[in-house]
Amino acid sequence: MQDIAKVIKGAFISPNERDNNFEPANVVDGLYAIARALDRLAEAVEQLANPKED
């Protein structure tokens, strides 16, 4: 059973990437990064759609 757990853990944790605490990144860290990128994209699109008048 421990071998299966190690394989699953290895599939969801990347030693090649680090999170904010400098720990190996996991799926949650990846999803958080995607969500942040989508939020920044939405803000950029909103600014383009509603330009400020100078």
Domain limits, the chain:
2-49
Collapse the DSSP code of 19 into the 3-class scheme (helix H, G, I; strand E, B; otherwise coil) and give the result: coil
Backbone angle region of 22, left / alpha / beta, with phi > 0 → left and psi within -120 to 50 → alpha: left
- Separation of alpha carbons 41 and 22, rounded Å: 26
HSE-up of residue 8 (Cα within 13 Å, Cβ side): 5
Distance between start and end Cα atoms, the chain: 65
Per the confidence metrics, is the pTM higher than 0.85? no
Contact 23, 13 (CB under 8 A): no
pLDDT of the chain, 54 residues: tens digit per residue? 889 998 888 888 887 788 878 888 888 888 999 999 999 999 999 999 998 865
